[in-house]
Amino acid sequence: MEAAVSSHVPVEYAVAVEEYLGQAALGAASRRVYRISLTGWAWPLVGRPVPTGAERRGAAPPVVPLALLDDPATGGRLGAALAERAARTDARTVNREVSALRSAAGWWLDQGWICADPAAGLRHRPPARLAPALDAAQADALLRLPVSLREHALWRLLLDCGPAASAAQVLALNADQLDLVRHRTRGRPYDWPGAGIAWQAATSQALRWLLAGRTGGPVFVTGRRAPTPRSQTPAADRWPVTGQARMSYRRAAELFTALTRPLDPAGRGWTLHQLSAARTPTR
C-alpha cells in the first residue's frame, strides 16, 4: 500500500522532524534520541559546524528551510559533516545518527515533501576494533581513583557483573529491583532483562550509601535536575522527589573515559566496554 501524501508541506526542517516523530512507532526514550540526532543535522545542512560537548546540549539549532534538502550541494555538506563527526565520536553513535536521518528522509520522500534523499551518499562507519578487557591490576587501580560515590558504585557493580550484564542493563536498574541483602537483583533469570544479576557484599554496601534509603527511581541518576521538560523525560526514568533523571549510557561512558585517562599510558582513557568485559572479581 502506498503511503498517503500530505497536502501540507512543512516549510521548516524542524517542523518536518516533529511530523516524522509524531507518526513514528518509537518509544519515548527512542523518540528523544531520534530528535537529538535529527536536530544535530541542522547545522551541516546550512554549512555550519555542529557545536560540541556542553555547547551542543544548550545550542539553539539554525532555522533550515526544508527545501534545502533538495539542494544538490546538500549531500556534500552532510558527507563532510559525517566525516568530521566520525573523527570525534564512536561509530555506534555516528551510525545511529545516519540511520535517524535516513529513516526520516525516507518518510519525507513518501509524503512528497522532498524530491531527493539527502542521506543517499552517507555510509555507516565500521565499528572500531575493541580494546581488551581490564585486567586485575587495572581494576584495582580503577577502584582506587578519587571519584564520586555514584561512579564508584557503578564501576564496582559492572566489575562484579562482568560479561553477565551490559552497562546498559546496569544503568537501567531501579532501586526497588535490588536485593541488597542477597546481593542480587530481584526475581529469577528471564523474569525481566535485569533479573539474576549478582554482585559481591562490598558492592551492596556501596549501593546502600549511594541510595541513602531511597527505595524507588533509577539507581544511577544525573547530578542535576533533568534539563528538559518533564514531558520529554519518561516518569520511569526520573526520580520525582528531586527531578533527577536516569544517567544515560553516553554520559556514563564520557565520564568513565575522562576519569580513567590518568591510568591509561596512551592518555586516551578506557571504555565502558573494557569495564563490562572484565572478568576480574572486585574485593
Answer whether residue 261 shows pLDDT above 60. Answer: yes
Q: How far is the C-alpha of 246 from the C-alpha of 30, rounded, in Å?
A: 14
pTM of the model: 0.57
* Distance from chain centroid for Cα 24: 19
How many percent of the chain have pLDDT more than 90? 41
Segment 182-204 mean pLDDT: 81
How buried is 110 (Cβ within 10 angstroms: 0-12 exposed, 13-18 middle, 19+ buried)? middle
| Distance in Å from the first CA to the final CA of the chain | 60
Pairing relationship of beta strands 221-225 and 244-246 according to DSSP bridges: antiparallel
Model confidence pLDDT, tens digit, residues 211-246: 998 888 999 999 877 555 544 567 888 888 888 889
Model pLDDT, residue 226: 59
Model pLDDT, residue 107: 92
Name the least confident of 49-53, 112-116, 194-198, 229-233: 229-233
Among residues 131, 130, 133, which one has the least CA distance to residue 278?
133
Q: How far is the C-alpha of 258 from the C-alpha of 186, rounded, in Å?
A: 33
Domain ranges of the chain: 13-111, 136-276
- Cell numbers for 204, please give them: 551492596
C-alpha distance from residue 13 to each of 39, 84, 105 (Å): 9, 22, 11
Segment 151-179 mean pLDDT: 90
- Cell numbers for 264, please give them: 591509561
How buried is 90 (Cβ within 10 angstroms: 0-12 exposed, 13-18 middle, 19+ buried)? middle
CB neighbours of residue 119 within 10 Å: 23
More confident residue, 163 or 98: 98
Model confidence pLDDT, tens digit, residues 23-37: 988 777 788 888 888
Q: How far is the C-alpha of 127 from the C-alpha of 90, rounded, in Å?
A: 8
Model confidence pLDDT, tens digit, residues 51-60: 765 566 667 8
Segment 101-108 mean pLDDT: 91
Answer whether residue 156 shows pLDDT above 90. Answer: yes
